[in-house]
Amino acid sequence: MNRIITFIFTIILLSGCISNNNTPKRIPVAKAGDVVLYYDEIPAAIKDGITETDSIIVIHNYINKWGKSELLFQKAEQNLSADLLKDIEEQVKMTRFDLVTHEYQRQMMLEKMDTLITEEELESYYAANENSFVLNTNIVKALFIKLPVETPAIDRIRVLARSTTQNDIRELETLCYQFAEKFDVFNEDWITMDRLIFELKENITNQESFLRRNTFYESRDSSSVYFVTIYDYRLRGALSPFEYVRNDIKRIIWNNRRIQFLRSLDNGIYNEALRNNSFKIY
């Protein structure tokens, strides 16, 4: 162990050496079979940023790990059948093919694909594809408040939770930030009724009936009081509100545009190859 540490320390001292032609000399630090590990192949993150003593230990551990991995690889390569090794080479070839192709497509998309999607495009797609946006769950715009049962201002909060005036809403926010365990205002964003029921921790079996009958709902358990104000709702089977599916539409348009762009890229490269005779069918 001491000899190894001394050897590595010597390597570190020599790492700045240069050859007679002013190019850095490659310093071997280990050999596994016929494969040599050079000092410059050790990742900089391992060599830098730590104390000299720790650096020697970390480098020693890296060399041992490299040696075990390389020896295992060589043993595997010697003992696997020729057919299996050929199959592995084909897989490596296809993986490289896919990675290079994917990176080129990604680069072309970043440079040349139009990514701007206007509000008019979103609304037009929504209007033209309404049958694709039928709700499969009930959704609501609501206010949800969870309070400890001993909250001193609970009666006032109950009154304010039913109000829609700006002054009352501001007062409600002040009180809820002071006392509420949970205070969520979903009056601008649609959420599923299932999510609201989860917050209530109640088993509401007939959601449609509940929504038709209630604009304000209160429940409690041994430790908490729950207030729910329903501002608006849509039932399953109805057309989804545009705001609820807006992001979905944006993803659909972007994906369609991506498919069209890549198809155009493929066809452009193919046609160019036909024109300059770099692609021929025999």
| Residue 231 per-residue DSSP state | E
pLDDT for the residue 201: 84
pLDDT, tens digit (0-9, with 9 covering 90-100), for 151-180: 999 999 999 999 989 999 999 999 999 999
Provide long-range contacts, Cβ within 8 A and 24+ apart, for 28-37: 29/59, 29/63, 30/63, 30/66, 30/67, 32/66, 32/67, 32/70, 32/71, 32/74, 33/70, 33/71, 33/74, 35/70, 35/74, 37/63, 37/66, 37/67, 37/70
Decide if pLDDT at 13 tops 60: no
Each residue of 64-109: pLDDT tens digit? 999 999 999 999 999 999 999 999 999 999 999 999 999 999 999 9
Q: What's the token pair of residue 157?
A: 């909060």
pLDDT of residue 233: 96
What percentage of residues in the chain have a pLDDT greater than 90? 74
Task: Return the closest-CA partner of residue 221 out of 205, 206, 199.
Answer: 199
The band of 20, judged by pLDDT with boundaries at 50, 70 and 90, is: low
Beta bridge partners of 18: 24
What predicted TM-score, i.e. pTM, was given to this entire model? 0.73
Nearest to 59 by CA among 97, 96, 7: 7
Q: Is the pLDDT of residue 203 over 90?
A: no
